[in-house]
Amino acid sequence: MRVVVVGCGIAGAAAGYDLARNGVDVVMVDSRVPGRATSAGAGIVCPWSSRTDDEDWYRIAVAGAEHYQELLAALAADGETDLGYRQVGALCLVSEAEAAERLRDVAERAAKSPSAGEVELVSARRARDLFPPLAHDGPAIHIPGAARLDGRSVRDAMTRAAVRHGARLTEGTAAIDADGAVRGVRVGDEFVGADAVIAAAGAWSPRLLEPLGVRVRVAPQRGQIVHLRLPGARTADWPVVLPESHHYLLAFDDSRVVVGATREDDAGFDHRVTAAGLAQVLAEALSVAPGLAGATHAETRVGFRPVGPDIRPSLGAVPEIEGLVVVNGLGASGLTVGPYAGSIAARLARRMEAGIELSPYDPLR
């Protein structure tokens, strides 16, 4: 059996890796266009803090968070250990007035998830001890199981491991050949025959699928994310900081703090850092953590999140075209859900049961 995976972001790389590990003949096609969401994503894994009331999203997001332990073990066995992944915990900043209710909501969710750890309310002083640049003067909800990771490193590790298991990686723009059933994929002048195709092209999926008469409601949402350096600061164990807005702060091992992010729905594929985007991100970050004012600007990354018709991912087989599987629409949850969703797509491509009820994630909804 041969499967072609179109798109090597976090979900596509996970699908290719899962297939190759299971002995499937895999070809992974990557266009390497600028703005791929995985390349820019911050890398926060903490679904328990979400305020969303969509239980179907929450179910798959928690499964994605739990899946990382299995994925990390598999990658370690394949010699891939440098992923930027660490369970550093998260601080959800809250006011005194809402602390009790928010703590109850988060604790109830976390209690059902082995990875979340024991949730507790900590003082402002304790929060500042954990993340020194903070100036928050209220309590914070501490979720010890929250993790951060480097999306590029995880993606690249899965791709390398897939190749070691026999996958072939090729670069170019793909076009799927199908007529009631998948026949293969054309990449430039090369035709690659296939029994199944996994469409994991992110925000570019409409261009890939519309020639087949398949309409997925996915659009690009530009995100601008700023990386700062704090020379000499030991940031490796600093927790993720989640203010009441959709912005965030997280730190990595190399005195780096990442702050973000914009959510721009009408920017198309304009891959630019804008003055307004920088201003928004830095203003939000400094309002929460003024101790970052003296940090050095290292870089600003721009990515296009594939946003679907709702918060849930788009995942499943396309009934009208045998052998075509879609994994997309991960939005701001890409690095949480992506590896797990990719593994499900791989199962579907192999004509296996998904292991979860997929109707809430119908890619054609």
What stretch(es) of the chain map to CATH 3.30.9.10? 87-146+219-307
- pLDDT of 97 > 90? The answer is yes
Q: What CA–CA distance (Å, rounded) separates 5 from 14?
A: 10
CATH superfamily of 2-39+152-218+310-361: FAD/NAD(P)-binding domain (3.50.50.60)
pLDDT higher than 90, residue 246: no
CA gyration radius for the chain?
20
pLDDT band of residue 178 (cuts 50, 70, 90) is very high
Burial bucket for residue 233 (CB in 10 Å: 0-12, 13-18, 19+): middle
For residues 365 and 14, what is the distance between their CA atoms, to the nearest angstrom? 24
> What pLDDT is recorded for position 245?
86
Burial of 297 from C-beta contacts in 10 A (0-12 / 13-18 / 19+): exposed
**CATH architecture, domain defined by 87-146+219-307:** 2-Layer Sandwich (3.30)
Q: Where in the chain is the domain with CATH 3.50.50.60?
A: 2-39+152-218+310-361
Is it the case that residue 32 has pLDDT exceeding 90?
A: no
In sequence order, which residues have a C-beta less than 8 Å from that of residue 101 and are 6 or more positions away? Answer: none
Confidence of residue 74 (pLDDT cuts 50, 70, 90): very high
Tell me what the pLDDT averaged over the chain comes to.
96
Separation of alpha carbons 248 and 1, rounded Å: 43
- The tally of CA atoms less than 13 A away on the side-chain side of residue 40 is 29
Is the confidence at residue 223, as pLDDT, over 90? yes
